[in-house]
Amino acid sequence: MAKSESIIPQLIDKHSAQVLKDWLAQMTATGAAGGDDLSEVGGRFFTAFRQGIASAQFDDVGGPAWAPARGILEELSRSRAIKGATPTQTATFVFSLKSPLFNLLGRELKDAEKLAREVWWATLLLDKLGLYTTEVFQKNREEVIARQQEEMLELSTPVVKLWDGILALPLIGTLDSARTQVVMESLLQQIVSSGAEIAIIDITGVPTVDTLVAQHLLKTVSAARLMGAECIISGIRPQIAQTIVHLGVELDVMTKASMADAFALALRRTGKAVRDREQPTIEKKAQNAAPAADE
């Protein structure tokens, strides 16, 4: 559609202050504000919007003339996606421009046929802008989700050194193939760099162990064994022990109920032991306490 066919650009140019004021009022009324400084963002967008509709291809939202407007919408969508605003709130930013625009058209155009045509064009344009906003909003939300997933994956697989030659791998959350891969890689890498002989895999934080999770655990154990490190699986809760037996899974590895037991075993395997220190403190206390009692 060519610019000359529509009178919207001229009308907005003529009544820009009024339209902007109505629009801002409309947004405040519909709750599209979402905590932003409306007059600032709104003013900037409105300027860009006028620049867009003043161009030759005024409904070509993807065109170069609309670049500033798109930039502002992207910025707005991003900030709202991070703040956790709803898609409705975000899209209403653009859609609430309809009301002042249609009012303006209604006031200025008396010919019904012409009015209908102009309203149609305005709707088309604003819908495109609104859809664009929603799309960007959604893309930003997806980015946030993807980043969080990645961070969780990184965070959820720490390899901890408990002692010289003893590593611990506390697993939290369900083990799927992707996580098993990450777990395996970081464990094996750590085995190489620390020269560990024993790795304790703690599954206290694994909510359920089904055949698939068990298979993934066994894979990790086998891989560690191929590198010359023994694995102990610890933190098996009573329900999980029952599930494993009911499922008929053969866990052909050393298992311990708690991390403490596993650590004790690991120390024994590496030829170390934990023992109570001789406690002179208690005897001293007793000696100190004795005279006090006499008095």
Partner 1 sequence: MDQIPILKIGDTLLVSIQVDMHDRLALALQDDLTAKIVASRARGVMIDISALEIVDSFIGRMLNNIAAMSRILDAVTVVVGMRPAVAITLVELGLSLTGVKTALNVDKGLALIRQMIDGQEGSLDRREE
Query: Which positions lie near partner 1, rule CB under 8 A?
Result: 181, 184-185, 188-189, 191-192, 195-197, 219, 222-229
* Residue placing its CB nearer to partner 1 in the complex, 243 or 255: 255
* Residue placing its CB nearer to partner 1 in the complex, 27 or 229: 229
- Shortest Cβ 250–partner 1 spacing (Å): 13
Of how many residues is the chain composed?
295
* Residue placing its CB nearer to partner 1 in the complex, 117 or 219: 219
Residue with tokens 């208690």: 282
- Shortest Cβ 189–partner 1 spacing (Å): 6
- Shortest Cβ 177–partner 1 spacing (Å): 10
- Shortest Cβ 247–partner 1 spacing (Å): 20
Q: In Å, what is the CA distance from 262 to each residue of 163, 196, 203, 215, 230?
A: 13, 15, 12, 21, 12
Q: What is the residue type of 195? A: G
Instruction: Name the residue among 179, 224, 226 with its Cα closest to residue 199.
Output: 224
* Residue placing its CB nearer to partner 1 in the complex, 197 or 261: 197
Q: What is the DSSP letter of 173?
A: S
Residue 34 has φ and ψ, to the nearest 5°, of 60, 25
- Shortest Cβ 279–partner 1 spacing (Å): 36
Cα–Cα distance, 136 to 75 (Å, whole number) = 9
* Residue placing its CB nearer to partner 1 in the complex, 3 or 269: 269
If one counts every other C-beta atom within 10 angstroms of the C-beta of residue 17, the result is 9
Residue with tokens 């407007």: 69
- Shortest Cβ 187–partner 1 spacing (Å): 9
Write down the H helix ranges in 231-279. Answer: 238-247, 259-269
- Shortest Cβ 266–partner 1 spacing (Å): 15
Q: What is the DSSP letter of 84?
A: T
Q: In Å, what is the CA distance from 210 to each residue of 8, 16, 153, 214, 252?
A: 64, 65, 20, 6, 15
* Residue placing its CB nearer to partner 1 in the complex, 1 or 192: 192
* Residue placing its CB nearer to partner 1 in the complex, 99 or 270: 270
Instruction: Name the residue among 125, 195, 184 with its Cα closest to residue 161.
Output: 195
* Residue placing its CB nearer to partner 1 in the complex, 36 or 230: 230
Give the three-class secondary structure for 274. Answer: coil
- Shortest Cβ 273–partner 1 spacing (Å): 19
DSSP lists the bridge partners of residue 202 as 170, 234
